[in-house]
Amino acid sequence: MTLDPVAFAQALIRRPSVTPADAGAMDVLQSALSDLGFACRRMPFEGIENLYARRGTSGPNLAFAGHTDVVPVGDAAAWTTGPFDAQIIDGVLYGRGAVDMKGSIAAWTAAVSRVLAKGEISGSLSLLITGDEEGKAIHGTGPVVEALLSEGETIDHVVLGEPTSAARLGDQLKIGRRGSVNAWITVEGVQGHVAYPHQAANPIPVLIRLLAEIQAHVLDQGHPRFPASNLEVTTIDVGNPVTNVIPAKATARLNIRFNPLHDGDSLIAWLEGACAKAGVGFDGTVTLEPVLTGNAFITEPGPFVDVLAAAVKSVTGEAPILSTTGGISDARFLRKLCPVVELGLVGATMHAVDECTSVQEVEDLTRIYEQVILGYFAGL
């Protein structure tokens, strides 16, 4: 049995699985995988549907990872077709999740069906699919990875199907991601009248000096495969509606995107030190609330990356570039298991009104994935 990747993508898109809803998307996928001989296991966390499916018991184990949840449609009336109708118009498949990332899930599943139709592989294939990637991502891939690690499950390499292609299918492989730290800084002083500053403790100058100091700090000059790390202040809030009151509190939020020269814990420790220094001599408090959303990682070029690059070139005729650009993804969790490389559809319309992908791109991605699987088990 071989699957039609486009028809399967349509079946997935027609399930309105806006985070945290599943709407039966996992059932559609699990049914197809069960028919292909996969042992399917649901791994729900706090009501979020997750699926780990494996075919085979020996190594190596090549996994595909992704998510069935999608972002809200926005203004449904602005769409060319119904956001979940999965209509094809002039060779283009429309629908929420078409590129991010039900199209790539369908392409991988169809590729597996084509490989298995040719014979058995000498190893295992698995899929790790979550329903919580577009939201807070705290009940999805992260806890599934931790559960698999605790059970001793071995996954040797992962292909993550995020829409990482930029201008054309396969023009880049994402071999790494920068890390990310979010932080909230709160300076609390003493409210008072502007004409009597000695009776107050203004938190604003303290916050301004602190932000200027950390903004001026050069984190690094860059990494061989990453740009320089950067810190950006994203908001400053006081909420003072009048001109004659010194406010009691001032807050700011910032984000640090960092390369592998740092880790989140060391950056948080640096911020804590700066906040402690800012509070010296101030008749108030300076507090930091940091959240590490993921550390930076790199999958160094080698046999695994070569297999993916060769598969792309065999289908598209052009070799991909190796990229570490963009934001964070579930690769930050998967890297705890093994090396990860991201390869998926062109992401130009992801999260947009009229999210879409061409039928030909879905077919071509299926061919690429088929070559990845065949090349992996032939050469690694």
**What's the start-to-end Cα distance of the chain, in Å?**
26
3-state helix, strand, coil in the chain (%, to 5): 35, 25, 40
Whether the CB-CB separation of 33 and 127 falls below 8 Å is answered with: yes
Is 133 catalytic? The answer is yes
**Strand partners of residue 152:** none
Q: Is the dihedral of CA 76, 100, 102, 164 positive or negative?
A: positive
Is 300 catalytic? The answer is no
In the chain, how many H helices and how many E strands?
9, 19
In the 8-state DSSP scheme, what is residue 165?
A: B
192, 211, 179, 353: which is closest to 286 by C-alpha? Answer: 211
Q: Is 173 helix (H, G, I), strand (E, B) or coil?
A: strand
Q: Which amino acid is at 134?
A: E
Q: How far apart are CA 248 and CA 191, in angstroms?
A: 4
**Strand partners of residue 291:** 182
Q: Is 312 helix (H, G, I), strand (E, B) or coil?
A: helix
Q: How far apart are CA 102 and CA 95, in angstroms?
A: 10
Whether the CB-CB separation of 200 and 191 falls below 8 Å is answered with: yes
Among residues 49, 132, 133, 162, the one annotated as catalytic is 133
Q: What are the DSSP calls for 45-66, one per residue? A: BTTB-EEEEEE-SSSPEEEEEE
225, 174, 176: which is closest to 342 by C-alpha? Answer: 174
Catalytic site positions: 69, 133
